[in-house]
Amino acid sequence: MLIGETKGYDSDVLSLAKSSSLHNGLKSYYIVLVKDKDGRILDYRDGGLRSLTGYFLWLVANIFDLYDYGFYYPGINPLFYCGCNYTVTNGSYSIVLGSGSQTFSPNINKLAAPIPGASINPSITYNITSSGIPQIIFYGEYANNSSSPITVSEFGLQLTTKYCSSNITLSPLLTYDTLSQPVNVPVGGSISVAIVINLTG
Amino acid sequence: MLLGTNVDNYDVKPQDTEPESIGLQATLTIKVVDKNGNVKSKFTVKSHSPTYNFIALLEYIVGKTVTITAIDGTQINTHGLYQFFVCSVAIAVGSGTSSSPFNQTNLVATIPNGNGAGQLVYGSTNVSNSITGSGNALSFEIYNVFTNASNTTVSVSELGLIVNVQFVLNDTYEPYNVLVWYDTIPTINLAPGDALTVTYTFTINP
């Protein structure tokens, strides 16, 4: 990418995710990249994901259909229930951005201070590291088209879906992280985030 | 990496904290007992791989179009399919090996369910009743017992988790068995009467 080029941000953060020095470790990690309106890099962060929430495990349990064997996860319904009429088109993943912080717990289910409208509809890809570790990567960009800068200090991966094809919305937070120092996204600038989850540590 | 410059031209160095979480951890516990219930061996190893189908199901849950390959080789493109559900999960065992577990769509050499030579009697799938653990570390288990009821030794060297997925095609439920997790293990030789217990444990934040 050339200086000032105005496209390719998503692939940048994905490339960084795959080339990070954290890539061949045993850890899950994130990449945060902030650019100005001309595409110049203003800030870059990477680090280990503090934690997956219990809802990530809940999601895996759904894929394995554990609920038909008497499994129960407190506080949230299974995806496949009510005669299994799960309508897949109701769902989405999003990387949500916030300006607060809170102590992590596995039951955390929302950001401390979500920034209204600051949400990324991520692309999803997978990767196998040279160490043979399979990873799933959620990545994308949020452009600050508002009239004022935003400060991002927390982010998470959120699943939004319907329960039993009904009007009951489930929106569990699958990961939650805070930055050691907030990043500022100027007007017209952008923030790209990649969340890299090792699927077998 | 210098700020305000081209991202491709500079090494990227971590600025933030050291990694904290390994993500999702899966382990396999293998236990073999003889016909009298005496433990012959027991060990735990890291489980190595979800398959591409697992990733595809994570994407399909939110409506992405993906292609899932069933164990019989059938390829299911989910474009336009708006409903599916998972009906059951089973641990399968085999006698083959694969060097590319992520791309596996079936075991290399599945051991049939039965009491004849080269077969094992498959028990019922069992799972944890709930998430267990303390602090930030949470887990659940899936386990099954395989018994050698034949008169010959049976060797096990690969394992997998297979889910039965049903897609709604033209208002008809179409079932497919799909491999979502695959592992190879050191070969275990089960003598007549031996019982093999396989336990998959999935943990976050161990």
pTM (2 d.p.): 0.88
pLDDT-based confidence at A4, cuts 50/70/90? Answer: very low
Strand residues in chain A grouped as ranges (E): 29-35, 41-48, 51-52, 92-98, 114-120, 123-128, 134-143, 150-162, 169-170, 173-185, 190-198
Read off the pLDDT of each residue in B38-47 and give the average, rounded to a whole number. 95
> What pLDDT is stored for residue B32 in this prediction?
98
DSSP character for A147?
Answer: S
| Predicted local distance difference test score (pLDDT) of residue B134 | 78
Report CB contact under 8 Å: A89, B166.
Answer: no
Residues of B in contact with A201 (CB under 8 A): 22-25, 46, 206
Nearest CA in chain A to B132: A73
pLDDT tier for residue B2 given thresholds of 50, 70 and 90: very low
Q: Decide: residue B22, CB within 10 A, 0-12 exposed, 13-18 middle, 19+ buried.
A: buried
In chain B, residues with a C-beta closer than 8 Å to the C-beta of A43 are 3
pLDDT band at B9 (very low <50, low <70, confident <90, very high): very low
Q: Are A197 and B57 within 8 A, CB to CB?
A: no
Average pLDDT over residues B38-53: 93
Of the given ranges (A129-138, B115-124, B188-197), which has the lowest mean pLDDT? A129-138
- Residue B189: pLDDT band with limits 50, 70, 90: very high
The per-residue pLDDT for B17 is 45
Minimal-distance CA residue of chain B relative to A137: B55
Predicted pLDDT at A165: 55
Summarize pLDDT for A141-151 with one digit per residue, the tens.
999 999 999 99
* Residue A37, number of CB atoms within 10 A of its CB: 14
* B62/A43 CB distance under 8 A: no
Average pLDDT over chain B, rounded to an integer? 86
- pLDDT level of residue A80 (50, 70, 90 thresholds): low
pLDDT at A148: 95
With pLDDT > 70 as the criterion, what percentage of chain A qualifies? Answer: 83
- Which of A58, A200, A201 lies at the smallest CB-CB distance from B49? A200
pLDDT confidence of residue B74: 93
Q: Please report the ipTM that was assigned to this predicted complex.
A: 0.86
Query: Per-residue pLDDT for A134 more than 60?
Result: yes
Tell me the C-alpha distance between A79 and A184, whole Å. 37
Per-residue pLDDT for B178 more than 90? yes
Q: Is the pLDDT of residue A3 over 50?
A: no
